[in-house]
Amino acid sequence: MTDANFILKGNICYSRDISRFQTYEKSYIICERGISRGVFDVIPEQYKTFPLFDCGEQLIIPGFTDLHVHAPQFPFRGLGMDMELLDWLNTNTFPEEARYGDEVYARQMYGKFVNELKRGGTTRACIFATVHIPATKILMELMEESGLISYVGKVNMDRNSPDYLREESAECSAEDTRKWIEETGGRYRFTKPILTPRFTPSCTDELMRRLGELQKEYQLPVQSHLSENYQEIDWVKELCPAAAFYGDAYDMFGLFGRGPCTIMAHCVHSTEAEQKRMKENGVFIAHCPESNMNLASGVAPVKKYLAEGQRVGLGSDVAGGSTTSIFRAMSLAIQASKLRWRLKDETVNPLTAQETFYMATRGGGEFFGKVGSLETGYEFDALVIDDSAWDIPGRYTVGERVERMIYLADERCIRAKYVAGRKCSV
Ligand code: GUN
Ligand code: FE
């Protein structure tokens, strides 16, 4: 895995903007030191010495970003899907996460999770671990070895959690977090720490205040959950009467965009005031359609978010979601948006394939900088996709083939994967 210079030839597609594909048939894309130098019909003179890999009829698209996934929840995917969020957390999630106090178990299960990510289309990810620091470090090591680029968060929770998973006090939680940041902040090339208060119900005001201080001191990004489920939202109103709305309970402590780059998962039931603040603060929304259906949370008004210029990417939210596949997140996002439109609110249109592809690539990639496109200047994250199992040669345009890919592809179709120009094994 070196930062190579090379050229791929194939059928290239990336998002020109939110609603349009940019496609090129049988063209050359140049990667120079991990950065795209653009797409050409003919190889420009200065790149003629770069090795050329001909991908034939295959598609070349940007890598996917999974903006929200829980690594420790990988082992129990599919279980307890007859519950809503709070019951599901207590019944399945917290007991499973408690197991990561055991480093042997953590290495075994995190190994399975990372292998699955390697095989799939994800090139970047924002990952929740658990409260346990040794296990979180194991996950960071494994992610680093994978070559994928990620943020990994040690989870903070000092209230409303079972004794076996609750940190002793706000002070202990924050000081442990500081130690973890000191140990891991500069340690890896591809793997960075991210502050991860689980959600408002799990964190006292004092812990949030201390995390806000750590954010300022270390300039770290933040990830959490927001307005996912009706009971959760009512609970936050009781727990934080001073907050104007749920998101304000993060903003009060400097954990909601503005300076820090922040991802809030779900935003299914965000009020207008909350949406306005997210927009003002540049908060990223991780839309997790499968999780929102499995936990019967609802369906976020994603088309509205995109139209209003919110920053939106896709998340698998394993184990609320049953799969790490961003192919599935894309097709389910479209399908969920249609049911929402038909059954709930005909003023918010369904998502198109183009919009959904945008979220999976550029929308989420933006959290990592110039990522998620193959345009000149973007980091070279790319997938080579073999759609020969269902494509009818000569019948469809490149754009139509990408539309079909959203529904028909899975990780078996990925022939090569590049992360910032490095070829990773799949
Ligand atoms: N809210 C707080 N914790 C969680 C979690 O683990 N999964 C989901 N989907 N929502 C949460
Ligand atoms: Fe989640």
pLDDT for residue 20? 98
Beta bridge partners, 23, equal 13
How much distance in Å is there from the Cα of 12 to the middle of ligand 2? 32
Q: Which of 94, 228, 297 is the pocket-test mutation for ligand 1 (most atoms within 8 Å of CB)?
A: 228
Report which ligand 1 atom has the smallest distance to the Cα of 128: 6
Residue found under tokens 């991860």? 196
Could you please state the CATH topology (level 3) that the domain comprising 6-63+372-424 is classified under.
Urease, subunit C; domain 1 (2.30.40)
Q: Using CA positions, which residue lies closest to atom 3 of ligand 1?
A: 198
CB 72 within 8 A of CB 129: yes
Q: Which of 91, 199, 268 is the pocket-test mutation for ligand 1 (most atoms within 8 Å of CB)?
A: 199
Q: Which two tokens mark 182?
A: 């000191």
pLDDT digits (tens, 9 = 90+) for 142-187: 999 999 999 999 999 999 999 999 999 999 999 999 999 999 999 9
Question: Is the predicted pLDDT of residue 2 greater than 70, yes or no?
Answer: no
93 lines ligand 1 (CB under 6 A): yes
pLDDT for residue 371? 98
320 lines ligand 1 (CB under 6 A): yes
Nearest ligand by distance to the CA of 229: 1
What is the CATH class of 64-368? Answer: alpha beta
CB 6 within 8 A of CB 53: yes
Residues 3 and 31: their CA atoms lie apart, in Å, by: 9
Q: Which two tokens mark 382?
A: 């790319």
CB 129 within 8 A of CB 152: yes
pLDDT digits (tens, 9 = 90+) for 66-118: 999 999 999 999 999 999 999 999 999 999 999 999 999 999 999 999 999 99
Residues 173 and 167: their CA atoms lie apart, in Å, by: 6
pLDDT digits (tens, 9 = 90+) for 346-357: 999 999 999 999
pLDDT digits (tens, 9 = 90+) for 360-413: 999 999 999 999 999 999 999 999 999 999 999 999 999 999 999 999 999 999
pLDDT average, residue stretch 249-254: 98
pLDDT digits (tens, 9 = 90+) for 106-156: 999 999 999 999 999 999 999 999 999 999 999 999 999 999 999 999 999
How much distance in Å is there from the Cα of 259 to the middle of ligand 2? 23
Closest Cα to residue 333, out of 347, 313, 318? 313
pLDDT for residue 177? 98
How much distance in Å is there from the Cα of 67 to the middle of ligand 2? 10
How much distance in Å is there from the Cα of 5 to the middle of ligand 2? 37
How much distance in Å is there from the Cα of 290 to the middle of ligand 2? 11
291 lines ligand 1 (CB under 6 A): yes
pLDDT for residue 90? 98
Q: Using CA positions, which residue lies closest to atom 8 of ligand 1?
A: 320
Residues 287 and 81: their CA atoms lie apart, in Å, by: 19
User: Predicted confidence band at 283 (pLDDT cuts at 50, 70, 90)?
Assistant: very high
Closest Cα to residue 236, out of 205, 264, 260, 272? 205
317 lines ligand 1 (CB under 6 A): yes
CB 296 within 8 A of CB 84: yes
pLDDT for residue 3? 56
Question: Is the predicted pLDDT of residue 209 greater than 60, yes or no?
Answer: yes
pLDDT for residue 115? 98
Q: Which of 93, 230, 232, 291 is the pocket-test mutation for ligand 1 (most atoms within 8 Å of CB)?
A: 93
97 lines ligand 1 (CB under 6 A): no
70 lines ligand 1 (CB under 6 A): yes
198 lines ligand 1 (CB under 6 A): yes
- Quote the crossing angle between the two packed helices 326-343 and 398-408, to the nearest 10°: 90
Nearest ligand by distance to the CA of 157: 1
pLDDT digits (tens, 9 = 90+) for 7-35: 999 999 999 999 999 999 999 999 999 99
pLDDT for residue 1? 44
Q: What is the pTM of this model?
A: 0.98
- Residue 178, judged by CB atoms within 10 A of its CB (0-12, 13-18, 19+), counts as middle
Question: What letter represents residue 7's amino acid?
Answer: I
Q: Using CA positions, which residue lies closest to atom 7 of ligand 1?
A: 320
- Residue 51, judged by CB atoms within 10 A of its CB (0-12, 13-18, 19+), counts as exposed
How much distance in Å is there from the Cα of 239 to the middle of ligand 2? 20
The domain spans of the chain are 6-63+372-424, 64-368
